[in-house]
Each structure stands twice: as structure tokens, then as C-alpha cells.
Amino acid sequence: MTLPTRVKIVDVGPRDGLQNEKQAVPAAVKIELVHRLQAAGLKDIEVTSFVSPKWVPQMADNAEVMAGINRLPGVRYSVLTPNLQGFEASRASRPDEIVVFGAASETFSQRNINCSIAQSIERFAPVVAAARAAGMPVRGAMSCVVGCPYEGEVAPERVGYLAGLMKGIGVQHIGVADTIGVGTPLKVQRAMAAALQHFGLDEVSGHFHDTYGQALANTLACLEMGVWQFDASVAGLGGCPYAKGATGNVATEDLVYMLHGMGIATGIDLDRLVDAGEYISTQLQRRPNSRVATALLSQRAS
């Protein structure tokens, strides 16, 4: 077992987190959240998505949010683009990276992006080709790698199948996502191993929702495989609008605390990260959904 000495964290809070909010979140608040995340040392921030505003109204302000960010050198601002229309719409915002997103489960693919897995690959292929021709890195996300809200358990073979298709169209990095947070460490390791049949260790990341409280354990299981890139969401924001009942990603605060406690570097200042999580939670009129943030905030208060 060789644990990585450094981990790259992509904070997906502004996108995965805020896409699921019932209340309208002003663009100015999203922009301020991005500023606070970069002030805390985040070098990778998933800002928004160029999807249909009829499907996900919260992301309708995508261009406004991208335009409002004071970009720091060395920070990568990524956006989701499900099709060529979304990719073209994103161009004026100059994203540093784009993300195409598919699902290991057929039903989830239909519910989330209104097409089959095979059709999704046909839609992604020209997006990937156009992005790569423009010198833009492309990440792929695979939803429902252990469980689907409609189909139940998902076999690792389904993950391997989708990863192979993604690789085949030129996707450079694959995210292994437990969309509904039902995974446990060995199942997640099997899903990750299926992705690793097609992508190298430096080309995979874990994206674990924490619905059942397993996300840190699942992260540790992947660290033990040598995986060193993970998505997380500040204050544990989020969920997917097409996965009812699923809660947010593992809180970035919790992930950073665990990694630093293990002597694994992230480049992130935990105190400033807690500030960012407190900021957005206050805006949403709730407490951060992070055990670490709760502990540190109560320590500060006393």
C-alpha cells in the first residue's frame, strides 16, 4: 500500500452543490464563493454548467458567473458541457477545462441527459474533438458507478464499458462518481479498478456523494489504490436534481482535514476553507454540512 503524498482536490460546490438548490442563488453569491475558494488555495474549481436552463434553472446564469470571476493564474475553472450546443455556449467564457458527463446506468442516462449511453457518446464525441482541437483538456464524469436510483446496484462491468467508450472518443481523464452515495469501500474499489482498465492512475478521480456517510471511507479505499485526485464540495453542498434524496459530495473541509491528518498535502488552508463554507451556508440560511467545519466553528466561538 503506497499512499500518495499529495492530493488534488476539485471543489465542485459552485456547480454540483448549487445546481440542486431550490432557492435562487444570485450570481454575485456564486462568484463570491469562487473567490473564497481560490483564496483558500483551491486550484481547481468546477464553476457551472452549460446545460438546458429548463432542466437545471440554477445554472442559467453560467455566463454571468464565469464573466464575474477575478481569475487567478494557476487556477483551473471548469464547466460541464453535455453537448455541442453547451460547448459552443461555453466558449465565450473561456473555461480552462470542460466536462462531459455520462452514466453507467441506462435509466440514469435517460433521466439526466435525455438519451441512452450510446447516444450520449455520439453527442460527446464532437464536443471532445472540438475541445481538444482548441487545446482544452477534457474530463469525463461517470455517474452511478455503484448504484442507480432507478436500477439499483450497478456492476463494475458497466463502469468498464463506459470508461472504454469515453477513452475511445478522446476523453483524457475520468471521474468515477457515486452519484447517490450508496457505495462502500470494496464496491468503490471495484468500480475504480474498472475505470483503471482504460485510464492511468494519473487520469482518474473519485467523486463521492456522502448520502450514507461513506464518502471518506470510499476516498481512503481509493487512496490505498494510489488514486490522488478527488472532487469535493465545500460545506457538503449539493446533490443531483435527477437523483432524488441524494445529498451533497463529501465536504471539502472533511476531506482536507483527513488528508492533512494523514500527512498528505493539498495546498489548501483549512481555516480559510471553513470561512468559504460558512459564507455560502449563511447565504443559504443553514449550517455547513461538514463535521469538521462544525467542530472548528464551535471551537472559534468558544
> Nearest to residue 47, comparing CAs of 32, 29, 62?
62
Cβ atoms < 10 Å from Cβ of 15: 28
The residue (of 16 and 44) whose beta carbon lies closer to Mg ion is 16
Q: Which residues of 36-54 are buried (b: 16+ CB within 10 A; e: fewer)?
A: bbbebbbbbbbbbbbbbee
CB of 184 to ligand HMG, least distance (A): 17
- Residues 151 and 246: their CA atoms lie apart, in Å, by 15
- Quick one: which segment of 13-21, 108-116, 182-190, 193-201 binds Mg ion (CB under 5 A)? 13-21
- Tell me: does residue 11 bind Mg ion (CB under 5 A): no
240 included as an active-site residue: yes
Angle at the Cα of 140 from the Cα atoms of 166 and 216, rounded to 5 degrees: 125
Out of 7, 10, 16, 138, the residue judged to bind Mg ion by CB under 5 A = 16
Number of residues that make up the chain: 302
List % helix, strand, coil for the chain (3-state, nearest 5): 45, 20, 35
> Contact positions toward ligand HMG, by CB under 6 A?
16, 19, 49-52, 55-56, 82-83, 85-86, 89, 101, 112-114, 141, 143, 177, 179, 207, 209, 240-242
Q: Least separation, in Å, of the C-beta of 295 and ligand HMG?
A: 26
DSSP assigned state of 81: -
For residue 24, the minimal CB distance to ligand HMG (Å) is 17
What is the nearest approach in angstroms of ligand HMG to the Cβ of residue 296?
A: 26
Per CB under 5 A, 210 contacts Mg ion: no
Q: Which residue's C-beta sits nearest to ligand HMG? A: 86
List, by residue number, the catalytic residues. Answer: 240
